[in-house]
Amino acid sequence: MRSMKFKFYLLLFFLFIGPVLFLILQSFSEVWRYQSGEGLTFNLQSYQVLFSDPNIAEATLWSLVIGVCVLLFNLLIGLLSGKGLALYSFTGRSFLEALFLAPILVPVLAVAMGLHLFMIRIGLADTWMGVVLIHLVPTVPYSIKIFHNTYNQLGHGMLEQASILGATSFKQLLTIELPLLKPAIRSVTFLTIVISLSQYASTAIIGGGRILTLPMIFFPFLNTADASLMAAFSIWFALLPFFMYIVVELLLFLLPYTRKPWRNG
Amino acid sequence: MSSGWKNSGLMKSSKSKLWFLLAPALVFLILPLYGMFAAVRSSINGNQGLTFTYYVQLFQSERFLSSIAFSVRTSLVATVIAIIIGLIITRLFHTYLDKTTPRLSVWLPMLFPHFVWGYLVILLLAETGLIAQIFLVVGWIDGTGQFPVLTRDPYGLGIIITYVWKEIPFVILMLLPIYSSIPTSYYDLVKTLGGRSWEQFRTVEWPHIQPVLIETFLILFSFTLTAYEVPALLGTTFPEMISVLSYQWFYGGILEERPLAFASMVFVSIVILTLTLAGYFYMNRRRMRAMRGRL
């Protein structure tokens, strides 16, 4: 049994923790060449170069703005429809469930190409709002599914009780649903921002190359930049979801019945 | 579960509330539905109305045919390997994975976009990458030229490695809740009857995980088949993944090639749709049979 545990941690290290550690190490050091006979030299140069790039601030900002908007849409759509699907039974429910999941199966590239002309016509091409809309396609289905599952687990008894006691829908949402939906909100935050950050092709098509997000500068960077710089850039990518996660976590503290760490008990 | 609720007075008064709840999602559906519709229309819209010339052109194109074969093979291999490894890890270690720290470490690759993980694979496995350097130090190879070409290779190995690595956490994410919810008494029963590990898997775990496995397969396969970023980073110019080819046709600046981009993407969508329907009907048939068996 002990050896199983050892094997597990070995696997965990090599498959998941090790690569990330390597990326961090690489970002803080110069590229290692065995032939040069030198050891690792540590410096912050790659981060300096990264942040001195005039585009990085703009791209980070746009990635965040777009990510936050995509997240808000996801929370709204996911929460409402997840609740509808879980708490009501109606004809065509399983068909609707399948239909809501379908957008992650169709190629986002096809949808982006198809919507491109339409977005030009209504003036959303080359705008950040257009990019937000196209990023909804690969994210919203996951959110609906996550909220659907969570509401399923919640059951309707809890909500029924609140409405019997006369709570308004808003009060019910604030005091019962949101506190219990915290795990779902966390997962949706995390998934949404990572998927939004992963979009290169769809952002390029709808944003027309004019909306500069992080992937838009990562790809051209690849040909010229050295490994340490790219590693620093890669770490920067992971910090964004991390940052969003912390912000959402802080916002969740505002919810009622949340155990505050600075309060005992 | 919802039968009491359904018949209560509360329910009847809130039929309109249901539509209020579902409206935003239904509005959202316009995006992918219209996008697909427009893509299909663009692929059959000729100068003189309806035409299938672009599809004919597509299937006469050597480049397209080798691309689609390459794409299907690469995604299939990557998806199947990711599922098998993810399944083995979940199966062997799900008791450890229930704890927070190991679970969060498994999710680590999910923090990064796919192409960033692809770049990591280049850093590790390129001919001048870390592994090659280590092999050199240890003395297994004499020069970095002896290290096998694993990235930007004609067999799509780099693409496969990236996707396998990046999707294992997703497979675990999908399977873990199921493994955690299988009652241990089921295992005890099989053990009492003398069943070994394989019988446990076949009789206890398989019926539970099979629907999720099919769903995971469909999500991963369709994603891998049509994503642009990783193949753009780790692929070669020939054969190229279908999304890279379509993107070039769409964005290459040659206007005559644009309908080909639409046609190829629509064709891939049809492939995925067919597979999904097959999986759906297969699962439904099984469910029907299981229900009949119970009655």
For residue B292, pLDDT beyond 90: no
Q: Cβ of A234 and B116 within 8 Å?
A: yes
What region, left, alpha or beta, does residue B42 occupy, with left being phi > 0 and alpha being psi -120 to 50 degrees? alpha
Please tell me the least confidently modeled range out of B29-38, B72-81, B183-192: B183-192
Q: Cβ of A100 and B10 within 8 Å?
A: no
Two tokens, residue A37: 């006979």
Q: How many CB atoms lie within 10 A of CB A95?
A: 9
B93 vs A: CB within 8 A: yes
Q: How far is CA A185 from CA A84, A86, A241, A257, B105, in A?
A: 17, 16, 13, 16, 20
Which residues, including other chains, have CB under 8 Å from residue A29's CB and lie 6 or more apart? A40, A41, A42, A43, A228
B262 vs A: CB within 8 A: yes
B120 vs A: CB within 8 A: yes
* CA dist., res. A69 & res. A241, Å (int): 14
A163 vs B: CB within 8 A: yes
Average pLDDT on A44-62 reads 90
* pTM summary value: 0.91
**pLDDT grade for B1, boundaries at 50, 70 and 90:** very low
For residues A79, B181, B277 and B231, what is the CA-based torsion angle, rounded to 10 degrees? 80
A154-173 pLDDT, tens digit each: 888 888 888 888 888 888 88
Which residues numbered 228-247 in B keep a CB inside 8 Å of some CB on A? 228-229, 232-233, 243, 246-247
Peptide bond into A183 cis (omega under 30): no
Q: Cβ of A227 and B123 within 8 Å?
A: yes
In a domain, A36, yes or no: no
B165 vs A: CB within 8 A: yes
Q: Helix A45-52 and helix A54-87: axis angle, to 10°?
A: 80
Q: SS in 3 state form for chain B?
A: CCHHHHHCHHHHHCHHHHHHHHHHHHHHHHHHHHHHHHHHHHHHEECCEECCHHHHHHHHCHHHHHHHHHHHHHHHHHHHHHHHHHHHHHHHHHHHHCCHHHHHHHHHHHHCCHHHHHHHHHHHHCCCCHHHHHHHHHCCCCCHHHCCCCCCCCCCHHHHHHHHHHHHHHHHHHHHHHHHHCCHHHHHHHHHCCCCHHHHHHHHHHHHHHHHHHHHHHHHHHHHHHCCHHHHHHCCCCCCCHHHHHHHHHHCCCHHHHHHHHHHHHHHHHHHHHHHHHHHHHHHHHHHHHHHHHC
Which residues numbered 145-164 in B keep a CB inside 8 Å of some CB on A? none
Two tokens, residue B60: 């006469």
Q: With beta carbons under 8 A apart, name residues in chain A contacting B221.
A: none
Q: Kindly identify which residue of chain B lies nearest to residue A199, measuring between CA atoms.
A: B229
Q: Taking a C-beta distance cutoff of 8 angstroms, is the pair A137, B31 a contact? A: yes
The pLDDT of residue B7: 46
The pLDDT of residue B2: 44
Test the B interface: residue of A111, A132, A153, A177 with most B CBs within 10 Å: A111
Residue among B123, B228, B262 whose CB faces A200 most closely: B228
Which residues, including other chains, have CB under 8 Å from residue B247's CB and lie 6 or more apart? A109, A201, B228, B232, B261
In a domain, A257, yes or no: no
Two tokens, residue B48: 């003189």
The pLDDT of residue A36: 65
Please tell me the least confidently modeled range out of A129-133, A196-200, B3-7, B26-30: B3-7
* Average pLDDT for chain A: 89
* CA dist., res. B211 & res. B218, Å (int): 11
In a domain, A45, yes or no: no
HSE (side-chain half, CA atoms, 13 Å) at B203: 15
Q: Kindly identify which residue of chain B lies nearest to residue A197, measuring between CA atoms.
A: B113
Q: Cβ of A105 and B28 within 8 Å?
A: no
* CA dist., res. B265 & res. B129, Å (int): 35
Average pLDDT on B41-68 reads 90
**pLDDT grade for B6, boundaries at 50, 70 and 90:** very low
**pLDDT grade for B45, boundaries at 50, 70 and 90:** confident
* CA dist., res. B147 & res. B136, Å (int): 9
| R_g (Cα) of chain A, nearest Å | 22
Q: Cβ of A12 and B35 within 8 Å?
A: no
B170 vs A: CB within 8 A: no
In a domain, A204, yes or no: yes
Q: Kindly identify which residue of chain A lies nearest to residue B112, measuring between CA atoms.
A: A238
Of A206, A222, A244, A45, residue with least CA distance to A117: A206
Average pLDDT on A81-90 reads 91
The pLDDT of residue B172: 95
Test the B interface: residue of A150, A198, A239 with most B CBs within 10 Å: A198
A183 vs B: CB within 8 A: no
CATH number where A238 lies = 1.10.3720.10
CA distance A237 to chain B (A): 7
Q: SS in 3 state form for chain A?
A: CHHHHHHHHHHHHHHHHHHHHHHHHHHCECCCCHHHCCCCCECCHHHHHHHHCHHHHHHHHHHHHHHHHHHHHHHHHHHHHHHHHHHCCCCCHHHHHHHHHHHHCCCHHHHHHHHHHHHHHCCCCCCHHHHHHHHHHHHHHHHHHHHHHHHHHHCCHHHHHHHHCCCCHHHHHHHHHHHHCHHHHHHHHHHHHHHHHHCCHHHHHHHCCCCCCHHHHHHHHHHHCCHHHHHHHHHHHHHHHHHHHHHHHHHHCCCCCCCCCCCCC
B131 vs A: CB within 8 A: no
The pLDDT of residue B166: 95
Number of domains in chain A: 1
Two tokens, residue B24: 């935003």
Bridge partners, B49 (sequence order): B46
The pLDDT of residue A193: 96
Two tokens, residue B93: 């270690």
Domain that residue A67 falls in: 56-252
Q: Tokens 């009949």 belong to which residue?
A: B292
What ipTM does the predicted assembly reach?
0.90
Q: Kindly identify which residue of chain A lies nearest to residue B109, measuring between CA atoms.
A: A16
B29 vs A: CB within 8 A: yes
The pLDDT of residue B4: 45
Residue among B114, B250, B261 whose CB faces A198 most closely: B114
Two tokens, residue B151: 């990235």
* CA dist., res. B171 & res. A38, Å (int): 41
In a domain, A258, yes or no: no
For residue B48, pLDDT beyond 70: yes
Average pLDDT on B264-268 reads 96
Residue among A8, A113, A115 whose CB faces B250 most closely: A113
Q: What percent of chain B has pLDDT over 70?
A: 94
For residue A119, pLDDT beyond 50: yes
Q: Cβ of A89 and B38 within 8 Å?
A: no
The pLDDT of residue A214: 95
Pairs from A92-97 (Cβ < 8 Å, separation ≥ 24): A96/B22, A97/A148
In a domain, A20, yes or no: no
A156 vs B: CB within 8 A: yes
B13 vs A: CB within 8 A: no
Residue among A17, A32, A89 whose CB faces B133 most closely: A32
B95-126 pLDDT, tens digit each: 898 888 888 899 899 999 999 999 999 999 98
Average pLDDT on B53-81 reads 95
In a domain, A13, yes or no: no
For residue B9, pLDDT beyond 50: no
Q: Cβ of A110 and B268 within 8 Å?
A: yes
Q: Cβ of A230 and B251 within 8 Å?
A: no
Q: What percent of chain B has pLDDT over 90?
A: 55
Q: Cβ of B120 and A23 within 8 Å?
A: yes
In a domain, A127, yes or no: yes
Of A128, A118, A251, A263, residue with least CA distance to A189: A251
